[in-house]
């Protein structure tokens, strides 16, 4: 079902016409012309049945004896085909906050995930006729798409290459929005934005995964410290040799590098030991 614009005329003109017909029917009844008076009364009632009001950011879907007649999006008072019925559909932007879902990521780790979906109706005919309840349809399909996307990526890649739910939130949100749009196009709904609002390991493995993250962070920090310490030792030896402050043989270089590495890499403050004798 595709939305199209329904036939309509200005409602204020219709009200004036209805008042004129009503006045004419009263005049005819007073003049004892009951047949014509009855005809005008019926015409007045028929025209009155076609008047309706459309609020801003709202659409009215018109059906005529079971057939889709069209939709009216322009706000105001209107007259359409008599004896028709109408259903109001909101065109306002709305949010849907999913519940916290417990799913397994691609590596089988149980995680908790939730998202917010910003959407609006762009085709009132599809929203009303192609699905039973478009709001419930949005909720169910949003949670289904969120589960599907969550199972395609690991929670975290740590030192490995590739996308992860924690490290690539923008990319994951974009993919979620695309999948939602594909699923919700049937209901005439446009997905404006989709964002993750909650992401965490499930309670049963949260402690173990936290220790893994801490260990990974410590290893990464140690690697940076060692790289910096090696660079500083090289720079110190090169500077001493360049300025001719002291001549260092290979054994003294090794001793100096050892002392610098211990002082820089150690978790605790280095305690200096003063050598008053010869190195040999």
Name the band, by pLDDT with cuts 50, 70 and 90, for residue 157.
confident
- How many whole angstroms separate alpha carbon 183 and alpha carbon 145? 8
| Domain-ending residue, one of 145, 173, 201 | 201
Residue 153 C-alpha from the chain's centroid: 17
Query: Could you give the angle at the alpha carbon of 141 between the alpha carbons of 138 and 142, nearest 5°?
Result: 80
pLDDT digit string (tens) for 193-238?
999 999 888 877 656 666 666 666 666 666 777 777 777 777 777 7
- How many whole angstroms separate alpha carbon 83 and alpha carbon 6? 14
Co-location of 170 and 260 in the same domain? no
- How many whole angstroms separate alpha carbon 242 and alpha carbon 247? 10
Residue 260: give the domain boundaries: 219-265
Co-location of 78 and 122 in the same domain? no
Using the predicted structure, report yes or no on whether residue 41 has a pLDDT greater than 70: yes
Co-location of 108 and 171 in the same domain? yes
Q: Say if 134 falls within a structural domain.
A: yes
Using the predicted structure, report yes or no on whether residue 10 has a pLDDT greater than 70: yes
Co-location of 235 and 255 in the same domain? yes
Q: Say if 1 falls within a structural domain.
A: no
- In the chain, the number of structural domains is 3
Co-location of 141 and 181 in the same domain? yes
Residue 245 DSSP one-character state: S
Using the predicted structure, report yes or no on whether residue 246 has a pLDDT greater than 90: no
Q: Say if 270 falls within a structural domain.
A: no
pLDDT of residue 247: 66
Co-location of 29 and 65 in the same domain? yes
Contact 136, 108 (CB under 8 A): no
Co-location of 192 and 154 in the same domain? yes
Q: Please, which residues bridge with residue 189 across strands?
A: 121
pLDDT of residue 265: 62
Using the predicted structure, report yes or no on whether residue 48 has a pLDDT greater than 70: yes
Co-location of 68 and 104 in the same domain? no
Name the band, by pLDDT with cuts 50, 70 and 90, for residue 89.
very high
Q: Count Cβ atoms within 10 A of the Cβ of residue 192 and give its class: 0-12 exposed, 13-18 middle, 19 or more buried.
A: middle
Q: Say if 280 falls within a structural domain.
A: no
Residue that has been written with the tokens 């590739």 in this structure: 162
Supply φ then ψ for residue 186, to 5 degrees: -60, -35
pLDDT of residue 13: 93
Q: Say if 106 falls within a structural domain.
A: yes
User: Once rounded to an integer, what is the mean pLDDT over residues 8-16?
Assistant: 93
pLDDT of residue 114: 94
Q: Say if 273 falls within a structural domain.
A: no
Q: Say if 81 falls within a structural domain.
A: yes
Q: Say if 124 falls within a structural domain.
A: yes
Co-location of 125 and 49 in the same domain? no
pLDDT of residue 253: 67
Q: Count Cβ atoms within 10 A of the Cβ of residue 142 and give its class: 0-12 exposed, 13-18 middle, 19 or more buried.
A: buried
Co-location of 67 and 43 in the same domain? yes
- How many whole angstroms separate alpha carbon 115 and alpha carbon 186? 21
pLDDT digit string (tens) for 100-147?
999 988 888 889 999 999 999 999 999 999 999 999 999 999 999 999
| Structure tokens that stand for 173 in this block | 């949100």
Using the predicted structure, report yes or no on whether residue 159 has a pLDDT greater than 70: no
Contact 216, 159 (CB under 8 A): yes
Using the predicted structure, report yes or no on whether residue 78 has a pLDDT greater than 80: yes
Using the predicted structure, report yes or no on whether residue 279 has a pLDDT greater than 60: no
Co-location of 101 and 171 in the same domain? yes
Residue with the larger pLDDT of the pair 122 and 256: 122
Mean pLDDT across the chain: 84
| Domain-ending residue, one of 45, 65, 89 | 89
Residue with the larger pLDDT of the pair 229 and 93: 93
| Domain-ending residue, one of 59, 89, 119 | 89
Closest residue by Cα to residue 128 from 78, 64, 189: 189
pLDDT digit string (tens) for 165-189?
888 889 999 999 999 999 999 999 9
Co-location of 24 and 77 in the same domain? yes
Supply φ then ψ for residue 140, to 5 degrees: -65, -45
Domain containing 115 — which CATH number? 3.30.479.30
Residue with the larger pLDDT of the pair 269 and 56: 56
Q: Please, which residues bridge with residue 1 across strands?
A: none
pLDDT of residue 260: 67
């Amino acid at each position: 079902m595709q939305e199209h614009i329904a036939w309509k005329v200005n409602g204020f003109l219709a009200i004036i016409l209805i008042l004129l017909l009503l006045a004419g029917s009263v005049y005819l009844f007073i003049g004892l012309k009951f047949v014509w008076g009855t005809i005008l009364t019926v015409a007045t009632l028929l025209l009155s049945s076609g008047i309706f009001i459309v609020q801003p950011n709202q659409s009215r879907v018109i059906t005529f004896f079971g057939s889709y007649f069209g939709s009216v999006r322009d706000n105001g008072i209107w007259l359409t085909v008599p004896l028709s019925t109408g259903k109001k559909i909101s065109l306002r932007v709305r949010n849907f906050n999913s519940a916290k879902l417990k799913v397994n990521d691609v590596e089988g780790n149980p995680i908790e995930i939730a998202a917010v979906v910003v959407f609006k109706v762009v085709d009132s005919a599809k929203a009303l006729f192609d699905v039973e309840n478009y709001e419930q349809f949005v909720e169910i399909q949003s949670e289904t798409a969120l589960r599907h996307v969550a199972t395609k990526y690991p929670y975290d890649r740590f030192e490995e290459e590739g996308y992860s739910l924690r490290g690539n939130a923008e990319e994951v949100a974009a993919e979620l929005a695309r999948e939602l749009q594909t699923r919700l196009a049937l209901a005439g709904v446009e997905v404006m934005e989709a964002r993750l609002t909650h992401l965490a390991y499930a309670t049963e493995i949260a402690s173990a995964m936290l220790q893994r993250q801490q260990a990974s962070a410590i290893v990464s920090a140690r690697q940076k410290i060692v790289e910096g310490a090696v660079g500083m030792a090289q720079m110190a030896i090169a500077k001493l040799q360049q300025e001719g402050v002291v001549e260092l043989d290979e054994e003294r270089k090794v001793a100096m590098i050892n002392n610098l590495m211990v002082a820089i890499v150690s978790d605790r403050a280095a305690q200096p030991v003063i050598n008053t004798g010869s190195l040999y």
